[in-house]
Structure 1
Amino acid sequence: MSDSTDALAAAYPDLIRCLGEADEYGATDVALGLLAAGVPAEAVLLELIAPAQAQVGQWWQRNEWSVAQEHAATHISERVVAAVSSYASPRPNRGRVVVACMDGEWHALPVRLVAEVLRLRGWNVTFLGASVPAAHLVSYLHRYDAHAVALGCALPMRLPQAHAMIEACRRADVPILVGGRGFGADGRWAARLGVAWAPDATSAAAALTGEALFDEASEVELPHLADDEYAGLVRRRGELIDSALADLTDHVPATREYSGPQLDRTVEDLGHIVDFLAAAVYVDDQTLFGEFVDWLGEVLTSRGVPREPVARTLAHLADELRDFPRARGFLGAGQAALTAPALTS
């Protein structure tokens, strides 16, 4: 192991402790101490802060940390990233790259890490932050001469909005690079939308210096959208959520005793189910909805919540969507996956 690797490994528990204790100053001292000792800023960002934040996300998913703890830790990580960037602060010697989150995407930290790595590599980076509307992004691109635009998406349910932003950037004649788990662990949905994908910040930096990103993009065809299922799901979103909530209230007695906040969270969860279903229909890939259902099942198990009400909701939505054959197929596969553990236990 190199001296930097040893130092990063030794610092990791200290950073985790500071995040757990919501100690912003301690966390910043950990990172700045590494920089002062000669550890490269890029390594601090990608080999310390990024894995620590990933651990925070896992603790939230396993219900070991509350939402408030996760939010506090994320805020502190953002502050530490800012401190590292300020400490390094190289002068740009390359063109401008605009970095932003997709419209509706609020998970900004992973995209911020990419922006800071590009800045360290000499690019003149403009980071627009979370949830940037397509029209505002294009207006910015028209105003400033950008070498490329890098867009991040953490949740696959945002893929329809991502496609709209990608097409808007194409019309502005600016090369596009995308990244994030929202495009699939292997970038499959980026390929579906005909756009270059980078799995991590290092790959993104390499792509910006390559030639492939600037090849003329081929026209993307999504002929399955002609069946109007996606548009129908969008139109009926509110109706489907209301109907699913009414079904739960009628058939799951515990739902009737929910407090206001519990009902709000239930409505939010139902909205996510519909949105992930719509995104799966948009890219015509059942695995998108299946992976969401698998994740949802893990979250429910970690919180001691029975899976049966969710399986019931999938069955109810399938019944409501009799004229949507692709959506019904995805819902059926999701229901089978959600109930499979109970059948084999």
Structure 2
Amino acid sequence: MRSQHAASPLTRTDALVERVWEAVMTLDEPAAVRAVLRALDDGLDPEAVLMEVIGPVQGRVGEEWAANRVSVAQEHAATAINDRAVAALALHPAARTQPSRGRITVACVDGEWHALPARLLAEVLRIRGWHVDYLGAQVPAPHLIAHLHRTGPDAVALSSSIPTRLPVAHATITACQAVGTPVMVGGAAFGPGGRYARLLGADAWAPDARTAADDLARGPLPRPAPAHQVIDDLPHLKDQEYTLVARSRPRWVREVMAELEDAYPAVRDYTDAQRERTAEDVSHIVEFLTAALYTDDEELFTGFLLWTAEVLAARGVPSVSLLPALTLLGRRLVDFPRAAAMLRAGADRLTRTPPTAPHPPA
């Protein structure tokens, strides 16, 4: 009979989270892998380890970076350790399942380097009995399509975390459907409730790996007819604002940086590193503005600005420091009514909303 003092599965999982977290934060890869393998040896469900331990630990790493409690180098090292823990789990006998279902290709959108969510999905699907081709981060669409022609999977699971990759995601979804392969998408890039997934014509959306696996288990996604969706069928793109703003980004970043130095003497005293980070911030502002124009969603842009303000506040930089760049960009948008309105809305939100704990933009 089991002792009444035996740890519950939830308690065991929580304890494992803390052990893996400590190993990740001290960059002790062997300790992280040992903790995961020991939990599997003790009978903890492999899927639970993936979704309730490694996934949350990785999420916590991102939160710590945003709060300026870990560096970019630490975040990258921690991510690599989590990836190694997933690899070790995948080789454990408890996680090895003979394929009994169909074939799924799992890939990240071209330009998307956040591969761990896709890796977690791939391993959950393998545990559930699927034959999985995991292609990893930043997969160019032509290479993905060549793979589909060669392997003929039942579906593609496409992952993206950054909304600026949505135009590329749209092109990739359309290309996969054009060769008759249905597409399920997931990741923070596709917005709350997957609203951008629907906008871009994906065949399915799932908020997490378990839901994706559950949905795929219910039956195959319908195979789309060739030319299922035309890539330029979003009516609001007819005004050409998205295309023109996207093409202007490199020039606008250079011009805004030059004008910032002219208008604000403190900027002239920036170190090279500070100047580079400021230019990156300006570039990101224009990138998210173009993504908002593509989706015709003002909230995508304002949400990014608020998140950026929170990250800057965690680093001791006042959120109002973003306003001069918005003002200078606004002068370049007089002929772009949708973009100008989004920029004004973003500036208004920045002045009205005090920074809070930072969360990744959705």
Same fold (TM over 0.5): yes
Does residue 223 of structure 1 match 2:235? yes
Q: Residues 103 and 131 of structure 2 are in contact (CA less than 8 Å); yes or no, is this contact kept in structure 1?
A: yes
Quote how far apart the aligned CAs of 1:69 are: 1.1
Offset from partner CA, 1:63-110 (integer Å, 9 cap, x none): 111111111111100000100111122221122111000011000011
Question: Which residue pairs with 1:66 in the alignment?
Answer: 71
What is the rounded CA distance, in whole Å, between the counterparts of 1:53 and 1:342 in structure 2?
A: 27
Specify the code of the residue in structure 2 equivalent to 1:34. Answer: A
Question: Which residue pairs with 2:3 in the alignment?
Answer: none
Question: Which residue pairs with 2:351 in the alignment?
Answer: 339
What is the rounded CA distance, in whole Å, between the counterparts of 1:210 and 1:173 in structure 2?
A: 20
Offset from partner CA, 1:252-294 (integer Å, 9 cap, x none): 3232222333322222222211111001000101011011011
Q: 1:252 to 1:341 in 2, by over 3 A?
A: farther
Does residue 246 of structure 1 match 2:246? no
- Is the partner of 1:128 in helix, strand or coil? strand
Q: Residues 16 and 35 of structure 2 are in contact (CA less than 8 Å); yes or no, is this contact kept in structure 1?
A: yes
Specify the code of the residue in structure 2 equivalent to 1:226. Answer: K
Q: 1:203 aligns with which of 196, 211, 236?
A: 211
What is the rounded CA distance, in whole Å, between the counterparts of 2:317 and 2:74 in structure 1?
A: 21
- Is the partner of 1:22 in helix, strand or coil? coil
Quote how far apart the aligned CAs of 1:149 are: 0.3
Q: Within 5 A, what are the aligned runs for 1:50-199?
A: 50-87=55-92, 88-195=95-202, 196-199=204-207
What is the rounded CA distance, in whole Å, between the counterparts of 2:315 and 2:65 in structure 1?
A: 10
Q: Residues 181 and 223 of structure 2 are in contact (CA less than 8 Å); yes or no, is this contact kept in structure 1?
A: no
Q: 1:234 to 1:109 in 2, by over 3 A?
A: same
Quote how far apart the aligned CAs of 1:192 are: 1.0
Specify the code of the residue in structure 2 equivalent to 1:83. Answer: A
TM-score of the superposed pair, with normalisation by structure 2: 0.91
Deviates more, 1:247-256 or 1:154-163: 247-256
Q: Residues 103 and 131 of structure 1 are in contact (CA less than 8 Å); yes or no, is this contact kept in structure 2?
A: yes
Q: Percent identity?
A: 48
Does residue 265 of structure 1 match 2:273? no
Number of residues of Structure 1 aligned to a counterpart in Structure 2: 343
Q: Residues 106 and 131 of structure 1 are in contact (CA less than 8 Å); yes or no, is this contact kept in structure 2?
A: yes
- Is the partner of 1:58 in helix, strand or coil? helix
Q: Residues 248 and 309 of structure 1 are in contact (CA less than 8 Å); yes or no, is this contact kept in structure 2?
A: no
Offset from partner CA, 1:5-60 (integer Å, 9 cap, x none): 22111122111111110000000111111100000100000001111111111111
Quote how far apart the aligned CAs of 1:341 are: 4.0
What is the rounded CA distance, in whole Å, between the counterparts of 1:203 and 1:290 in structure 2?
A: 29
Q: 1:248 to 1:212 in 2, by over 3 A?
A: farther
What is the rounded CA distance, in whole Å, between the counterparts of 2:229 and 2:219 in structure 1?
A: 19
Question: Which residue pairs with 1:320 in the alignment?
Answer: 332
Q: 1:24 to 1:285 in 2, by over 3 A?
A: same
Cα RMSD over matched residues?
A: 1.8
What is the rounded CA distance, in whole Å, between the counterparts of 2:289 and 2:161 in structure 1?
A: 16
Does residue 4 of structure 1 match 2:28? no
Q: Residues 154 and 182 of structure 2 are in contact (CA less than 8 Å); yes or no, is this contact kept in structure 1?
A: yes
Deviates more, 1:257-266 or 1:65-74: 257-266
Specify the code of the residue in structure 2 equivalent to 1:207. Answer: D
Q: 1:237 aligns with which of 231, 249, 252?
A: 249
Q: 1:313 to 1:133 in 2, by over 3 A?
A: same
Deviates more, 1:207-216 or 1:100-109: 207-216
Q: 1:80 to 1:342 in 2, by over 3 A?
A: closer
Quote how far apart the aligned CAs of 1:247 are: 2.0
Question: Which residue pairs with 2:302 in the alignment?
Answer: 290
Quote how far apart the aligned CAs of 1:318 are: 1.5
Quote how far apart the aligned CAs of 1:216 are: 4.3
What is the rounded CA distance, in whole Å, between the counterparts of 1:313 and 1:275 in structure 2?
A: 14
Structure 2 unpaired stretches of 5+: 1-5, 356-362
Quote how far apart the aligned CAs of 1:199 are: 0.2
Offset from partner CA, 1:285-335 (integer Å, 9 cap, x none): 101101101111110111111223311111211111111100001110001
What is the rounded CA distance, in whole Å, between the counterparts of 2:7 and 2:229 in structure 1?
A: 46
What is the rounded CA distance, in whole Å, between the counterparts of 2:17 and 2:155 in structure 1?
A: 34
Structure 1 unpaired stretches of 5+: none
* Structure holding more helix per residue: 1
Q: Residues 180 and 223 of structure 2 are in contact (CA less than 8 Å); yes or no, is this contact kept in structure 1?
A: no
What is the rounded CA distance, in whole Å, between the counterparts of 1:259 and 1:131 in structure 2?
A: 32
Relative contact order higher in (CA < 8 Å, ≥ 6 apart): 2
Structure 1 runs (4+) greater than 6 angstroms displaced:
none
